[in-house]
Amino acid sequence: MTTPAEIEQQLIALIQSAILKKVDPEVPLLESGLLDSVAAVELMLAIESRFGCTVPITEAQEHLYSVRTLTDFVVANAA
């Protein structure tokens, strides 16, 4: 079974590969401009593919707030 710390590291790797910048788990992803709307959609699709859970578009801002909030969502919803 994958631990929350491992999931967090996988999410950081996904995000960093998309934006080509280091990401701190607490930094706001959307508010800081690290993720734009296109990158956010691509990330949600990658999460669905890798972890088997879908981030509802109506909840994207809440769950994509930071790597930490995204990790919490994936841990709670992964298949």
pLDDT tens digits, one per residue of 10-45: 999 999 998 999 999 999 999 999 999 999 999 999
Position 35 scores a pLDDT of 94
Domain assignments of the chain as residue spans, ordered by start: 4-77
Which CATH class, in words, describes the domain spanning 4-77? Answer: mainly alpha
How high is the pLDDT of residue 67? 97
Confidence of residue 2 (pLDDT cuts 50, 70, 90): confident
- Sign, CA torsion 63/67/73/79: positive
What's residue 50's pLDDT? 94
Q: Please report, rounded to a whole number, the percentage of residues in the chain having pLDDT higher than 70.
A: 99
Q: Do 76 and 41 contact (CB within 8 A), yes or no?
A: no
